[in-house]
Amino acid sequence: MSVILERSFWLILVLALIPLWLHWRKGLTRQSKLRAFSILTLRCAWFILLVLALIGPVVTWKNFSKFVVCAVDLSSSVTEGNISEQLPDAEKVSDGDQCIVLPFAEHPGRLRSLETAFFDSNFACGSSALTNLSSALGAAAALAPEDFVPEVILYTDGISNLGPVPQSAGEAVPVHFVQLPSPFAANSDLPETWIERFSAPVSAYEGEVAGMDLFVHATHALGELKIDLYRNGELAESQMLVFEKPGVRGVRFQVSVTPKSDEKSPLTEWKAVIHPAKEFDSSPANNEIAAVTRIVPHEKILLVERSENLGELLRGVLKKEFIEVETCLPEEMPASADALRAYGLVILSNIPAPRIPEEALTALETYVSVHGGGLLVTGGDQAFTSGGYRGTPMEKLLPVFCLENKDRPREGLALALVVDRSGSMQGEAIALAREAVKGAMDVLGEQDQAGVHIYADTSGWVVPFWKMTKQNKESAFRAIDQITAISGTNMNLALEKAARALAEVSAERKHIIVMTDGISIPADFMATARKIHDAGITLSTIALGAEAEPNLLSDIAQVGEGNAYVCIDPASMPEIFAVETASAAKIGVVEGRTPVKQISSIPGFLNFDFTKIPPLLGYVQTAAKPESRVIFASESKDKTQAGDPILAWWKSGRGKVVAFTSDMESPQWLQTWRGGWPDFDRFWGRLVAHTIRKNETNDFRIQTAFRGAWLSVSLTLPNGQTLEGTPQLTIDGSSPVPLLPVAPGVYGTRTKIVP
């Protein structure tokens, strides 16, 4: 017997009995002793009964009757017809004892009485290919009421392929194991080989290379086993597995996803078939398994290009593989991550850092890391190291550091910096212009020359063309600090003087950067730009502020084969000057035939032969970050050192960022790949498929479990959605089997496969 107090805290009232007894006794002094004693006794008894009612005592008596749970394994690995002989006879169960039957396989089933278990048509072996002994023991141990002595009898073949193999059901619950015969048991004389599990992607883009894992279980050492994978009814790939001993072996297939050719189906159907010898296979029905992959449409791609139609090469390649490509200029990039979510991939094609608005760059970081968007950055003379990415948030986002190898020689540059000093430049603008010019000179090396030409109504040289040694830079900086603003703007005269001076300078490359913040004295600027171009000099323009003429300056830069910048905020002037100078000097740019070697791969590249990839004609120097994965690198003359990254990627939050350091904007650096590599377009298709965000918003999931003669199929819809009709399963023309709802958004069925 045991006593339990449900509300023991009321026991504190017992302490009040003493003062109550004294108080009651004092009030009964005029009564006789017998009467006073009787009244006190009744009052105390009443108080004690009140306290007992409040604390709620519960008295229990120990029950020595047994509650026996017969947990019966009904998985397909158990031989049918042996269970009824093993269960206890209902008539022999002692009085007071209780006995129930708990069937199980993948999950515990519905309880049955010992008398009626075998009259139920659903109580049969083969209900599932999976066995979870741990789950069954846990459920059985929890069934016994508290006033019974629990006991579990586990009827099983001992094969558990789901969850851990249990050792007991707990110290308080004794478990007795009864071995059932099975053709799949380790000590079985019946040889068997079956497909344990097959996984295919739920969804994929058309043409994407999908990875599929297949696991095969063999009870004997059968040697080599051939496995065929069929895609839409046609053989896609075959592989061999070797079983030197019994057990489970796995194999991975890498096959591209394609729809059926004879119908507009959004599905790719897979079927895996194993071919064991007859002496190692007792049940051929479990030698094949099927799965489906839903083909999802590609998300839109946003291609950011420096000027309209400049990314025509890349756009043309993408449209061969993908449905929709939109283009914009850097200044037109969406300024919020929500706006960028309309695209699965953003491509920056040779975009200098100053042209990416700060708000757009912040949105891009969130778009990749939080929303899982893809980012592909391609190189050129205005990107990565030569594009001013060093030390910016853009470099932080990339899988590479934007660093120049200063030991690598490059051609010298003669640079003319033509700066507006008109009256509108007074104050902060002229101060920032001075810093911008000094910053541009600081980018250059000793092999370069630079001069500073300032103009208003008239123009003149503040710094003649000097070699950019440390001493000359210091002298130039002192002269630049003396520049002040005066009235007038005659840009054409300044351009003519700068061009004449450059013509007399000896250098491999010659370049002019002209900056203005207003409307110049009218002149034939296009004729001047053509003369400069004909003299072998390139020309870039910077429009400062709202009163400059950006359209005119853009036309001048186009004729001069340079770049045109619009600088609304004077504070961005130093960065623009530095980036344009680095681009003109080809800082970090490597040109010439460069052999490319493969360092690693991605799933989409497994069917490519990269040993025949042609050399590149140019790329931008970078250094791989430790966490990045380099796919291609340049071949280094020193075999002990790694080359520069050509193609690298990494995960950034939920998204992927890829850096391709060669130029897709123009065919100059890639003409060997375009003309000499047949897989060029397919390569870009696979790379984009690897990088683009996977659209799983509307994915459904189909899962199959197939072993023995039973096939289990479940269909899971996203977010608990339901279907208007009833989904059906049809196998080789047999009668459709309905998939019934088993949970919110989940439909399932089990069906027996007749060989």
3-state DSSP of 108-125: ECCCEECCCHHHCCCCCC
Look at residue 121 in the predicted model and tell me its pLDDT. 46
Q: How confident is the model at residue 195 (pLDDT cuts 50, 70, 90)?
A: confident
Q: Which two tokens stand for residue 681?
A: 């377009």
Q: Do residue 56 and residue 71 come from a single domain?
A: no
Q: Is 436 helix (H, G, I), strand (E, B) or coil?
A: helix
Q: Do residue 571 and residue 660 come from a single domain?
A: no
Bridge pairing between strands 645-652 and 449-455 = unpaired
Closest to 394 measured CA to CA, from 188, 644, 579, 606: 579
DSSP string, 98-165: EEEEEEESSSB---EETTTGGG-TT--TTS-S---HHHHHHHHHTTS-TTSEEEEEEEE-S---SSPP
Q: Supply φ then ψ for residue 253, to 5 degrees.
A: -105, 145
Distance, CA of 444 to CA of 449 (rounded, Å)? 8
Of 62-76, 79-93, 314-328, 455-469, the one with minimum mean pLDDT is: 79-93
Q: Do residue 96 and residue 136 come from a single domain?
A: yes
Distance, CA of 675 to CA of 489 (rounded, Å)? 49
Domain boundary among 129, 151, 179: 179
Q: Do residue 349 and residue 491 come from a single domain?
A: no
CATH at residue 375: 3.40.50.880
In-domain check, residue 624: yes
Greatest mean pLDDT among 18-32, 39-53, 264-278, 502-516:
502-516
In-domain check, residue 370: yes
Domain boundary among 691, 710, 739: 691
pLDDT surpasses 70 at 574: yes
Q: How confident is the model at residue 124 (pLDDT cuts 50, 70, 90)?
A: low
Q: Mean pLDDT over residues 599-628, rounded?
A: 85
In-domain check, residue 113: yes
With residue 223 as reference, give the H or E element that holds it. Answer: strand 223-231
Residue 595 has a CB neighbour count (10 Å cut-off) of 12
Q: Mean pLDDT over residues 48-75, rounded?
A: 76
pLDDT surpasses 70 at 322: no
Query: What range does the domain containing 724 cover?
Result: 701-752
Distance, CA of 360 to CA of 335 (rounded, Å)? 4
Q: Do residue 56 and residue 31 come from a single domain?
A: yes
Q: Number of helices and strands (H, E) in the chain?
A: 16, 39
Give buried/exposed letters for 89-110 (b at 16+ CB in 10 A, else e).
eeeeeeeeebbbbbbbbbebbe
Q: Do residue 312 and residue 390 come from a single domain?
A: yes
Tell me which amino acid residue 582 is.
Answer: A
In-domain check, residue 189: no
The 10s digit of each residue's pLDDT in 462-498 is 999 999 999 999 999 999 999 888 877 889 899 999 9
Q: Mean pLDDT over residues 508-523, rounded?
A: 87
Distance, CA of 161 to CA of 132 (rounded, Å)? 7
Question: CA-CA distances (angstroms) from residue 79 to 82, 271, 710?
Answer: 7, 28, 14
Q: Do residue 36 and residue 80 come from a single domain?
A: no
pTM for the whole structure? 0.61
Q: How confident is the model at residue 683 (pLDDT cuts 50, 70, 90)?
A: confident
The 10s digit of each residue's pLDDT in 634-680 is 987 766 567 899 999 999 988 999 999 998 876 688 888 887 888 88
Question: CA-CA distances (angstroms) from residue 223 to 195, 226, 242?
Answer: 16, 10, 5
Distance, CA of 656 to CA of 202 (rounded, Å)? 20
pLDDT surpasses 80 at 307: no
With residue 682 as reference, give the H or E element that holds it. Answer: helix 680-691
Distance, CA of 245 to CA of 616 (rounded, Å)? 50
DSSP string, 252-292: EEEEE----SSS--SEEEEEEEEE--GGG-S-GGGSEEEEE
Number of structural domains found in the chain: 5
Q: Is 240 helix (H, G, I), strand (E, B) or coil?
A: strand
Q: Do residue 645 and residue 714 come from a single domain?
A: no
Q: Do residue 439 and residue 576 come from a single domain?
A: yes
CATH at residue 159: 3.40.50.410
Q: Is 39 helix (H, G, I), strand (E, B) or coil?
A: helix
* End-to-end Cα distance, the chain: 61
pLDDT surpasses 90 at 89: no
Contacts of 725 (CB under 8 A, 6+ apart): none
In-domain check, residue 187: no
In-domain check, residue 684: yes
Look at residue 676 in the predicted model and tell me its pLDDT. 82
Q: Do residue 578 and residue 603 come from a single domain?
A: no
Look at residue 720 in the predicted model and tell me its pLDDT. 63
In 517-563, DSSP assigns E strands to: 538-544
The 10s digit of each residue's pLDDT in 587-603 is 888 888 889 998 888 87
DSSP string, 349-415: ES--GGGS-HHHHHHHHHHHHTT--EEEEEESTTSGGGGT-TTSHHHHHSSEE----TTS----EEE
Q: Do residue 558 and residue 706 come from a single domain?
A: no
Q: Do residue 30 and residue 166 come from a single domain?
A: no
Domain boundary among 32, 60, 88: 60
In-domain check, residue 234: no
DSSP string, 588-641: TEEEEEE-EEE----GGGTT--GGGPPPEEEEE--EE-TT-EEEEEEPPSSTTS
Look at residue 79 in the predicted model and tell me its pLDDT. 60
Q: Mean pLDDT over residues 264-281, rounded?
A: 84
In-domain check, residue 203: no
